């Protein structure tokens, strides 16, 4: 089954890292996707632009409103994701512990709900 | 079938339920892959036993009979429901194929199932509260009402906690496995933490009346015994030893009116010698592996106390040395505080006081009532009555346990008495 690994970190802390360190973490993440791919565990993965680039959409009473966002009160923001194939939580957790972001922030492991009717 | 024949069967089934229902459940969860289905199957199996054993006699291996009956009842149930839900047909078929494995499960696989159950209930992805509730419910077989009473909670709240935990196990795909060797140390820590939490809830009841809660300590000790039988790891032995050695002082640590009696004032004849002997042997076994951890070291300290025939004979040199080891293995301000008290006993009160003041000056443990109680006691022994009073009052303000508060008030009264005499 599929698991979503959501990488959260504090952007401010991350911003203070040197460019070399950031590049090394990215390189390590890309390497991890290839290792997962080789074992048939890779579905997709990507880092995200900083939370400051986000737009937050709400539809209330049929009207859509767009605001900046996302959630100033949360200190940790979503920095990227890995969508993986794993047999159970144990396997998903062991992949999550190899995500470089886990060393500076947290990786939230969420099983993906299977629903019918999605495009293949 | 006559009444006389029926009664022994009901009694046999009753006794089996008490002794074996948790083993049967542990295996059924593995076979059926679902806690709810396994519990239903367990009840169906025992109901069938009451009916059939009266008629056909008790089978040679009752546990194996209960497991296979439970499994077939579950498959039957799925077949019936499959008329409404086609996906169950396939699942029932799968289960039936799996059912062709050996009828008589060997001891080893039975024990593996029990370990699977323990590790799953104590999975770190569940909240600590949920781990405790699941362990007491599924591993120990306590009812929801019993757990609620022990934790002074409402039964529906506990029931909901258990339902949510089971849903999480199912939906998050928490596997029903014994952790791999690489994960074992961390996962075992989680299990030991749950057991020790249950023990302490019963032993030092964080609030309210303690009478109802002794059972929890007994339950934790039973869990500890089960765990070292299944997995004889040094830290599991250390934890069991620690619980036994603490529990050995139960009768001596409170007065008939429920007042707290300090270690140095306890009637040591009331200490449970059997528990001390068992605990001490376990500490020695854990030590001999050379892989002792924080629980084992704490147990070793408790064993030194237990070995002293009277307070004056306590080997404080040994105790301080063990706290030094503990500070290296698992450093924390609380360990430092305990070490300071031991240093005060080994050397003199002022040496201990200096260490406690250093902790407080760092800003650690300032809101912990025992820091101030320990400080007060050392000041009292040094004749610094005014300092002692300030610290006792601080401790009293921070303490929530009634017997402890009474003890602190008594000490304050004693200070006033001696003040008058001076």
Contacts of A116 in chain B (CB under 8 A): none
What's the rounded Cα separation, in Å, for the pair B135 and A25? 40
Taking only the tens place, the pLDDT of each residue in B315-340 is: 999 999 999 999 999 999 999 999 99
Report the SS3 class of residue B98.
helix
Q: What is the pTM of this model?
A: 0.82
Do residues A44 and A34 touch, judged by C-beta distance below 8 A? no
Q: B419 exposed, middle or buried (CB, 10 Å; 0-12, 13-18, 19+)?
A: exposed
Residue B403: the pLDDT is 81
Report the length, in residues, of chain A: 120
Residue B314: the pLDDT is 95
Please give the interface size between A and B, counted as residue pairs whose CB atoms are below 8 Å apart.
22
What's the rounded Cα separation, in Å, for the pair B257 and B298? 29
How would residue B1 be classed by pLDDT, with cut points 50, 70 and 90?
A: very low
The pLDDT of B280-292, averaged and rounded, is 94
Taking only the tens place, the pLDDT of each residue in B227-237 is: 999 999 999 99
CB contact under 8 A, A90 and B172: no
Nearest CA in chain A to B171: A111
Q: For domain A2-111, give the fold.
A: Alpha-Beta Plaits (3.30.70)
CB contact under 8 A, A1 and B175: no
Do residues B30 and B113 touch, judged by C-beta distance below 8 A? yes
Residue B291: CB atoms within 10 Å: 12
Q: A114: distance to nearest CA of chain B, Å?
A: 11
How would residue B204 be classed by pLDDT, with cut points 50, 70 and 90?
A: low
Cα angle: B239, vertex B241, B246; to 5 degrees: 95
Residue A71 clears pLDDT 70, i.e. is over it: no
Nearest CA in chain B to A97: B183
Which of A90, A92, A93 has the CB atom closest to B177's CB atom? A90
Which distant-in-sequence residues (6+ apart) come within 8 Å of B128 by Cβ?
B193, B194, B197
DSSP code for B365: S
Contacts 24+ apart (CB under 8 A), B44-53: B44/B69, B44/B70, B44/B73, B44/B74, B44/B77, B45/B69, B45/B70, B45/B73, B46/B13, B46/B16, B46/B17, B46/B21, B48/B73, B49/B13, B49/B16, B50/B9, B50/B10, B50/B13, B53/B9, B53/B12, B53/B13
Report the length, in residues, of chain B: 422
- Taking alpha carbons only, the member of B208, B194, B40 closest to residue B130 is B194
Q: Is the peptide bond before B110 cis (omega within 30 degrees of 0)?
A: no
Beta strand residue intervals within chain A, DSSP E: 2-9, 42-47, 55-60, 63-68, 77-85, 106-111
What's the rounded Cα separation, in Å, for the pair B153 and A119? 47
The pLDDT of A42-66, averaged and rounded, is 87
The full set of domain ranges for chain A reads 2-111
Beta bridge partners of A46: A81
Residue B208 clears pLDDT 50, i.e. is over it: no
Nearest CA in chain B to A114: B171
Residue B177, chain A, CB below 8 Å: the answer is yes
Q: B182: distance to nearest CA of chain A, Å?
A: 11
Contacts of B179 in chain A (CB under 8 A): 90
Residue B293, chain A, CB below 8 Å: the answer is no
What's the rounded Cα separation, in Å, for the pair B175 and B125? 11
Residue B212 clears pLDDT 80, i.e. is over it: no
Residue B172, chain A, CB below 8 Å: the answer is yes
Residue B171, chain A, CB below 8 Å: the answer is yes
Q: How far apart, in Å, are the Cα atoms of B335 and each of B63, B326, B349?
A: 46, 7, 18
Residue A1, chain B, CB below 8 Å: the answer is yes
Q: B140: distance to nearest CA of chain A, Å?
A: 25
B284 vs B254 pLDDT, higher one = B284
Taking only the tens place, the pLDDT of each residue in B264-283 is: 899 999 999 999 999 999 99
CB contact under 8 A, B179 and A90: yes
Beta bridge partners of B394: none
Q: A117: distance to nearest CA of chain B, Å?
A: 17
Mean pLDDT taken over chain B: 89
- ipTM value: 0.74
Where does residue B17 fall: left (phi above 0), alpha (psi -120 to 50 degrees), or beta otherwise?
Answer: alpha
Residue B206: the pLDDT is 44
Selected for mutation to probe chain B from A5, A85, A86, A90 (highest B CB count within 10 Å) is A90
Q: Where are the alpha helices (DSSP H) in B33-143?
A: 35-56, 62-82, 87-98, 107-121, 128-134
Contacts of A88 in chain B (CB under 8 A): 173-175
Locate A73 and state its tokens. 């009160």
Residue B402: the pLDDT is 82
Q: A45: distance to nearest CA of chain B, Å?
A: 20
Residue B125, chain A, CB below 8 Å: the answer is yes
Q: A67: distance to nearest CA of chain B, Å?
A: 33
Residue B101, chain A, CB below 8 Å: the answer is no
Q: B73: distance to nearest CA of chain A, Å?
A: 27
Taking only the tens place, the pLDDT of each residue in A75-103 is: 788 999 999 999 999 999 999 999 999 99
Contacts of B172 in chain A (CB under 8 A): 89, 109, 111
Sign of CA dihedral B149, B153, B155, B161: negative
Selected for mutation to probe chain B from A3, A5, A111, A113 (highest B CB count within 10 Å) is A111
Cα angle: A70, vertex A72, A75; to 5 degrees: 110
The pLDDT of B290-301, averaged and rounded, is 95
Residue B179, chain A, CB below 8 Å: the answer is yes
Nearest CA in chain A to B179: A90
Contacts of A95 in chain B (CB under 8 A): none
SS (H, E, C) B113-132: HHHHHHHHHCCCCCCHHHHH
């Amino acid at each position: 089954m599929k698991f979503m690994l959501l990488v959260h970190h504090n952007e401010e802390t991350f911003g203070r890292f040197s460019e070399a360190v950031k590049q090394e973490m990215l390189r390590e993440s890309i390497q991890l996707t290839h290792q997962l791919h080789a074992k048939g565990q890779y579905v997709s993965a990507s880092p995200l632009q900083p939370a400051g680039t986000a737009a937050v959409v709400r539809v209330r009473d049929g009207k859509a409103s767009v605001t900046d966002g996302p959630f100033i009160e949360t200190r940790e923001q979503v920095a990227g994701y890995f969508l993986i194939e794993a047999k159970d939580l144990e396997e998903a957790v062991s992949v999550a512990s190899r995500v470089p972001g886990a060393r500076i922030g947290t990786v939230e492991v969420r099983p993906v709900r299977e629903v019918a009717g999605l495009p293949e | 079938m006559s009444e006389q024949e029926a009664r022994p069967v009901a009694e046999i089934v009753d006794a089996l339920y008490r002794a074996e229902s948790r083993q049967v459940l542990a295996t059924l969860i593995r076979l059926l892959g679902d806690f709810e289905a396994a519990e239903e199957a367990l009840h169906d199996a025992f109901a069938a036993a009451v009916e059939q054993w009266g008629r056909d006699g008790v089978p040679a291996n009752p546990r194996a009979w209960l497991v296979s009956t439970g499994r077939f009842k579950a498959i039957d149930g799925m077949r019936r429901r499959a008329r409404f839900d086609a996906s169950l047909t396939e699942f029932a078929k799968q289960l039936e194929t799996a059912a062709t494995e050996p009828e008589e499960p060997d001891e080893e696989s039975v024990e593996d199932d029990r370990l699977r159950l323990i590790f799953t209930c104590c999975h770190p992805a569940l909240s600590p509260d949920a781990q405790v509730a699941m362990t007491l419910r599924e591993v120990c077989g306590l009812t929801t009402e019993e757990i609620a009473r022990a934790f002074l909670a409402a039964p529906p709240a506990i029931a909901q906690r258990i339902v949510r935990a089971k849903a999480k196990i199912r939906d998050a795909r928490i596997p029903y496995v014994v952790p791999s060797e690489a994960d074992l140390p961390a996962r075992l820590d989680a299990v030991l933490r749950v057991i020790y939490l249950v023990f302490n809830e019963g032993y030092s009841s964080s609030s309210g009346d303690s009478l109802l809660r002794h059972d929890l300590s007994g339950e934790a000790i039973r869990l500890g015994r089960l765990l070292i039988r299944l997995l004889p790891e040094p830290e599991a032995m250390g934890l069991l030893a620690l619980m036994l050695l603490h529990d050995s002082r139960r009768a001596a640590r409170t007065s008939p009116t429920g007042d707290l009696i300090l270690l140095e004032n306890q009637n040591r004849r009331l200490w449970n010698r059997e528990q001390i002997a068992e605990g001490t042997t376990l500490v020695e076994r854990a030590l001999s592996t050379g892989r002792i951890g924080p629980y084992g070291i704490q147990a070793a300290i408790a064993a030194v106390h237990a070995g002293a025939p009277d307070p004056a004979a306590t080997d404080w040199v040994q105790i301080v040395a063990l706290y030094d080891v503990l500070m290296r293995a698992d450093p924390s301000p609380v360990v430092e505080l305990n070490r300071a008290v031991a240093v005060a006993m080994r050397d003199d009160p002022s040496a201990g006081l200096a260490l406690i003041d250093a902790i407080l000056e760092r800003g650690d443990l300032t809101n912990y009532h025992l820091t101030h109680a320990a400080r007060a006691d050392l000041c009292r022994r040094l004749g610094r009555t005014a300092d002692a009073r300030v610290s006792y009052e601080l401790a009293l303000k921070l303490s929530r346990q009634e017997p402890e508060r009474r003890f602190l008030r008594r000490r304050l009264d004693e200070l006033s008495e001696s003040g008058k005499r001076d």
